[in-house]
Amino acid sequence: MNYEWLKVFIAAFFEVFWVIGLKHADHLWAWLGTALAICVSFYLMIMAGKRLPVGTVYAVFVGLGTAGTVFSEIVFFGEPLKLIKLLLIILLLAGVIGLKLVTGKKEADVQGVE
């Protein structure tokens, strides 16, 4: 179960790389790295959908990818840090934790019934 979630988290981590890559890549190697990051992130996200509900996986993938990108833009590319961004990131993380909690419970319930 946790292993499946790890896939989603790593997928989101690579998503941050390719989103930044699409925006900032300016030479061949950067573009190749971006393409590789797209493949890795989508592969892991799709594979995580095998055991976890796909709707949940995709929402977490997109959500964490967005939070990570906004965070990286602030830390590495000098985007302004605004309170609203921090609040939204905290809200988003709360949603991800909530999803992980309810999904784990659901799975256990289903296994208990079967």
Partner 1 sequence: MAWVYLLLAGIFEMTGVALINKLHQDKNWQALLLLLAGFGASFLFLTLAMKSLPMGTAYAVWTGIGAAGGALLGMLYYGESKDWRRVFFICLVLGAAIGLKLVS
Cβ neighbours of residue 57 closer than 8 Å, sequence gap 6 or more: 8, 45, 48, 49
Our CB check for partner 1 shows the closer of 75 and 102 to be 102
Q: Where on the chain is the footprint of partner 1 (CB under 8 A)?
A: 42, 46, 49-50, 53-60, 62-63, 66-67, 70, 73, 79, 82, 84-85, 88-89, 91-92, 94-96, 98-99, 102-103, 106
What is the smallest separation between the CB atom of 27 and partner 1, expressed in angstroms? 20
Which residue type does 86 have? L
What is the smallest separation between the CB atom of 112 and partner 1, expressed in angstroms? 15
Residues 56 and 108 sit within 8 Å (Cβ to Cβ): no
